[in-house]
Structure formats: structure tokens, C-alpha cells
Amino acid sequence: MQKHEFRTETKKLLDIVVHSLYSKKDIFLRELISNSSDAINKLRFLALTEDNVVSSNENFNIEIIPDRDKNTLTIKDNGIGMTRDEIDINLGTIARSGTRNYLEGLSQSDLKELPDLIGKFGVGFYSAFMVADKIEVRSKGFKPDDKGVFWTSNVDDYTYEVSEIDKTDRGTEVILHLKESEKEFLEDWKISELVKKYSDFVEYPITLNTGKEKKKINSQKALWQMKKDEIEKKEYDDFYKSMTFDFKDPLSVVHYKAEGTNEFTALAFIPSEKPPFTFFEDMKSGMNLYINRIQVLSHSEELLPHYLKFVSGIIDSSDLPLNISREMLQENRKLMQIKQNLTKKILGELESIKKERLDRYVKFFENFGNYLKEGAVQDASNREKLLELLIFHSSSSQPHEFTDLIQYTSSMLKDQKEIYYLVAESDDLARKSPVQEMLKSKGFEILYLEPGIDELLIQNAPQYKNYEFCNIAEEHDSQKEENASEDFTRFKGFIEWAKDVLKDDVKDVKLSDKLLESPACLTREKGSYSFNLEKALRDINKGIPASKPIFEINPKNKIINNLLNMFEKDRSSLKLNQSLSLLFDLSLMQEGSDPRDVPKFADNLLSFMS
């Protein structure tokens, strides 16, 4: 036997694997299986150009053999195998240049972060040292006269030995002498579980040799690599469910192959609902990245923008380097293209669901609409498309119906330059809000938006196409010009008086041009939060000052004119004062707020009724 020392960077990796990576230790099986699958791939590739490498009836196979007596776990393949020289190079040094560079650049403080990172991009063969204190490899190359070779390493002293052995069959056996604490990996159920979890779609059969029988424990089905018309809906559904743990069928499947300089296959699922039993955050959504059928990232949020985190699926690329880490991912140009391309496809799919299956879309939107709103805020490059995916109630639709910005803008009045909207807690409050009376009577449509998220949306995406969004419950510039009107002269004194009475509660009192029938309404200063959003913000931060509304009154309204008469007769009348108070409180209630002082409001009302 010849004794060797591992190279410096290999020692460093071994150190990490043995001492800090244990939280991810079960990935070792994935790594060894993927090496075996690579080895078979290499042989098959070779066989394309060389004769007599494999026979025509070759059964490629990866076998897992637990031996509870010897406490060993063997992973055996009939792939390309290794010669003595190859084994020396391959297992004595770190093959992956990415891993090597990465390790060389590591500082002491990085090491703390490492377990998580390194587990993501794989540590290959050496990961087996997380569970084994001794590893033996028996291998034989594919050439008929290749000799069998034996490699063994005891991790304690960072050395390994190589020697020749008798081995006649081609391929590699990796024999792990499990640590005392890792005997669990000898259990059939545990092995099956890990294979199902990490290697289910490996192209070659993985068999478990239980001593009594050999049974296949992976499905081998790479659904995403099959042709779309060869896949049944049920297969897609099952695949989705096993991947996400969702128990509902997905709403839709996006499955395509991108050709050209950046080739990849994508299979992505759009869920129909959030599972009711769990918080969405727990759902196993996100995309898995496969490079040449080997999973390198699972449930990753890097492969799609954050706002599409409800999408799950697989990207399989043959153009990406296998040793990709999270950091490298974010900078990889090919992956960015994949991300952009898939994002567009998913938005396109949502668009067609919205067109063709609106009822299903509405349900989807109730669950995930807020993510699309987040997208419209974040993703400037897809903003228009995302805005078009939003659905709203509006003054022109029935309570259960929806409209969208495409429809809204196509049925705008001739000179309309803005998209009118109103923020209200409920559809009912919105429909009955007096603020919209004048606009509605002129034939304008008003979108009804939700407090909070919709307001943040409009703040960040203030335009759709060339149309600005306009909050109709805000004062607008033209109101100032009306100060010269006849009504203004008539109501000047009354307004001064009302301002004085309500001085603690209002910012201003004004004549309104928004009202048709109602006596009064509340508006806010331009650019301010709606009362709902302000309330939500103040719940979080008490320091935010409460803003006061503008009290707008309708000079054409009978009640208002009665009040004016009363005012002109006797401005100190208690009844006049109570009426104004009551009117203001009612306006608060129409906006969705509470009256300022409920007992006083009740007293006022009762005294009127008597």
C-alpha cells in the first residue's frame, strides 16, 4: 500500500465537512448517487464514439447495500470506473474548481456561515466523511485490461492509501464505515426516504439491496424532460403534490424548453390556493435547479423574483456549472436570463388564465393577488404586465364582478386623463361613498381599492401606460378657483363658523364639487394616507401624528341650505351646533371611521329624534 497526504485545500474541506457541516449530513447520499450517475453518464457518452465500451444489453444501475453486521453502507455503480492514476487525482484533490476557489478565499469568520452555504452547492465525495470515519473505494476502469484499484482513507490523520486489487467488474463501490452515531443510515426506510427526497428523478434505477431482495426505490421519471403531450394531467398533479406537500391540484402548469444559446427546460406550477392548514411561508414552494438532471438547489428563491414565490417547479439546465453556490448564482448571467425568461412565461400564463378561466383566476387572486401587487412595486421591467394582472371592483361593475386596468382604460371617457380610484375598507362602503357622486353622474368609472397594500402600490407605481392614478377622496387643484363663485360668497360666514366649531377635528371646511345629492363628505390633503392606512401605521408606531380630514359640504344640498338659514337667524343655536356635529360624525362613519365621541353622538341623535 502506498500512503499519501491529502492536498492542503482538501484538508481544509475535510476539516469543514467533519467539524461544521453536520447539520446537512444527509446530503452525502445525494452526492455519492450523483457521482455514480455521472460515472454512468460518462460511460454512455464514451460509448457514443468508441466501440466495445458497453454491451448492447447493459443494465445501468446504482445499488445501495446496507450491512448491519459490518456497519457499512455501500454505494455501487457500473459506471466508467477509475484507474489507479485517476483515483489518486480524483479522490486526493478537490475536483471542482469552484469549490477550490471558494475555499481558498475563505476567512475564519466565513467559516461560521459555511455549513449552510456549502451544503447548498455540494461537497461531493468528501461529504461522506460527515457520516463515516473510514471510507473504502473499490474501482475498475472500463478498459478490459484496467486493473482493480483500492483506495482507503481514515480521516483522522488526513492520509489515504492506494493499492491494486482483484476486481473484474467495471465500476465503483464506495464503502462507508459509519460512525457509531450514524447507524440510522443503514435502515431501509431511511435510505428510501433520502433517495425519494433527493434523488428520485435520477435517470438510472437506484436499487436497495435489503439482503433478501433488490428493489428499485427511485421513480426515475424526469417529468420535465418528457414531451408535454406524453404527460397526463394526473402525472403533473402528483408530481406537484409530492414536490410541495400541497394537497390541492395546481391551478396551472408551465412546461417548456428554451432553445438557443442558453438551453434549459422549465416545469413550473402555479398553485390554486394557499393550503389552509399551514402558513404559506411553510409551504415548500420555490424552484429546484437541476443541472444535467442532478439537483443542485432546492426550493430556491433565487430562480424567480420574490413576488413569484408561490410558484414551484424545476429548471434543468445543461449550460450551468455544477458547482454553483448561492453567491455565484446571483451573478450568473445565464441564470439571470433563465429567471427573466421564466418570469415572463409565468406572467403570460397568469394572463391567459385570467382571460380564459376568470372564476379560477379570481380565486387565485384572492390568495396570491398581494404578491402580484408586490411585484408591480418591485419589478419595474414587468410593471405594466403585473398591473394588468390586478383585478378590482369598480363603480361600473356589480359587487361580485371585477374589472382590470385594460378594461378600465379602454372604456374611459374621451377627455379622461386619469384613473380614478377610491380606497375603502369594504366594497359596500366604497359603493356608498358620497365622494364619487359627481364623477359617477358624469359617467366616470371609479376603481375601488383596498386600504394599505393598494395604496402602497399606487405610491410606487403611480402610472399605468400614460395615465396617472387619481385618488378621488383627495382635494384637487381646481377646487381653489371656485372661491370666487356665488356659492362661496353665500357660504363664506357659515364656513368660517363651521371651521371654528370643528376646529379640533378638521383641517378645513370647504364647498365641495364632488357631491351631487349627499350633504357632505370627507377628503384628505393631496398625497396623504387614507384614514385606514394611517390607522394601520399608527397601530405600529404611535408617534405618527393623526391627520385631520377636510370636511366638504354640498352647497346645493337641502340640509346644508337649512343649516345656512339657521346660521343666518341664530348662529348660537344649540340645534345648529348639534346638526353640524352630527353631519360631521356621519361623514366619518361613511368613510369607515367611528364617530369622534360615541356617547355624545348618541345623545345628539336622540335629541333629534325626540
User: What are the residues binding ligand ADP (CB under 6 A)?
Assistant: 31, 35-36, 39, 77, 79-82, 90-91, 95-96, 124-126, 172
CB 53 within 8 A of CB 47: yes
Q: Which of 136, 102, 115, 110 is nearest to 32 (CA)?
A: 136
As measured in angstroms, the least distance from the Cβ of 42 to ligand ADP is 7
DSSP H or E run through 453: helix 453-460
Residue tagged 338659514 (cell numbers): 565
Cα(528)–Cα(72) distance, rounded to whole angstroms? 70
End-to-end CA distance of the chain: 110
Nearest-CA neighbor of 258 among 330, 341, 348? 341
Residue closer to ligand ADP, measured from CB, 118 or 458? 118
CA–CA separation, 517 and 47 (whole Å): 86
CB nearer ligand ADP, residue 96 or residue 535: 96
- Which residue shows C-alpha cell 353622538? 601
Query: Which CB atom, from 31 or from 552, has the smaller least distance to ligand ADP?
Result: 31
Minimum gap (Å) between residue 115 Cβ and ligand ADP: 18
Q: Distance between CA atoms of 163 and 138, rounded to whole angstroms?
A: 10
The minimum distance between CB 191 and ligand ADP, in angstroms, equals: 17
Minimum gap (Å) between residue 125 Cβ and ligand ADP: 4
Residue with cell 455501500: 74
> Which residues neighbour 145 within 8 Å (Cβ) at sequence distance 6 or greater?
none
* Distance in Å, CB of 116 to ligand ADP, minimum: 19
Tell me whether residue 39 or residue 390 sits nearer to ligand ADP (CB atom).
39
Question: How many whole angstroms separate alpha carbon 466 and alpha carbon 602?
Answer: 48
Minimum distance from residue 181 beta carbon to ligand ADP (Å) = 23
Whole-number Å distance between alpha carbons of 372 and 387: 8
With respect to ligand ADP, which residue has the nearer C-beta, 185 or 469? 185
Q: What span, in angstroms and rounded, lies between the C-alpha atoms of 293 and 34?
A: 9
Instruction: List CB contacts of 256: < 8 A, sequence separation 6 or more.
Output: 265, 266, 345
- In angstroms, give the least distance from the CB of 107 to ligand ADP: 23
Asked if 436 and 359 touch (Cβ cutoff 8 Å), the reply is no
Phi then psi for residue 455, to 5 deg, are -70, -40
CB atoms within 10 A of CB 608: 11
Least Å distance, CB 182 to ligand ADP, is: 19
Nearer to ligand ADP, 35 or 265 (CB): 35
| Shortest-Cβ-distance residue relative to ligand ADP | 124
CB of 29 to ligand ADP, least distance (A): 12
Rounded to a whole number of angstroms, the minimum distance from the CB of residue 106 to ligand ADP is 18
Cβ closest to ligand ADP, residue 77 vs residue 200: 77
Q: How far is the CB of 62 from ligand ADP (least distance, A)?
A: 9
Least distance to ligand ADP, CB of residue 87, Å = 8
Residue 118 Cβ vs ligand ADP, minimum distance, rounded to whole Å: 13
One-letter amino acid of 171: G
How many of the other CB atoms lie within 10 Å of CB of 491?
A: 23
Nearer to ligand ADP, 60 or 551 (CB): 60
Rounded CA-CA distance 21/16 in Å is 6
- How many angstroms separate the CA atoms of 521 and 531, rounded? 14
Beta bridge partners of 171: 140
Q: Where are the beta strands (DSSP E) in 503-555?
A: 508-511, 520-523, 550-553
Provide, rounded to whole angstroms, the least separation between the CB of residue 89 and ligand ADP: 8
For residues 450 and 423, the answer to whether their CB atoms sit within 8 Å is yes
Distance CA(41)–CA(417), nearest Å, equals 62
Q: How far is it, in rounded angstroms, from Cα 216 to Cα 206?
A: 6
Q: Nearer Cβ to ligand ADP, position 170 or 507?
A: 170
39 vs 563 by CB, closer to ligand ADP: 39
Q: Which is nearer to ligand ADP, 317 or 436 (CB)?
A: 317
Laid out side by side, the sheet with 252-258 consists of: 252-258, 264-270, 312-317, 286-291, 294-300
Residue closer to ligand ADP by CB (options 207, 518) is: 207
The dihedral sign for the CA sequence 489, 510, 525, 425: negative
Could you give the CA distance from residue 387 to residue 402 in angstroms, rounded to a whole number?
14
Cβ proximity to ligand ADP: between 98 and 369 the closer is 98
CB distance 355 to 154 below 8 Å: no
Pick between residue 95 and residue 598 the one whose CB is nearest to ligand ADP: 95
Query: Which helix (H) or strand (E) element contains residue 432?
Result: helix 427-432
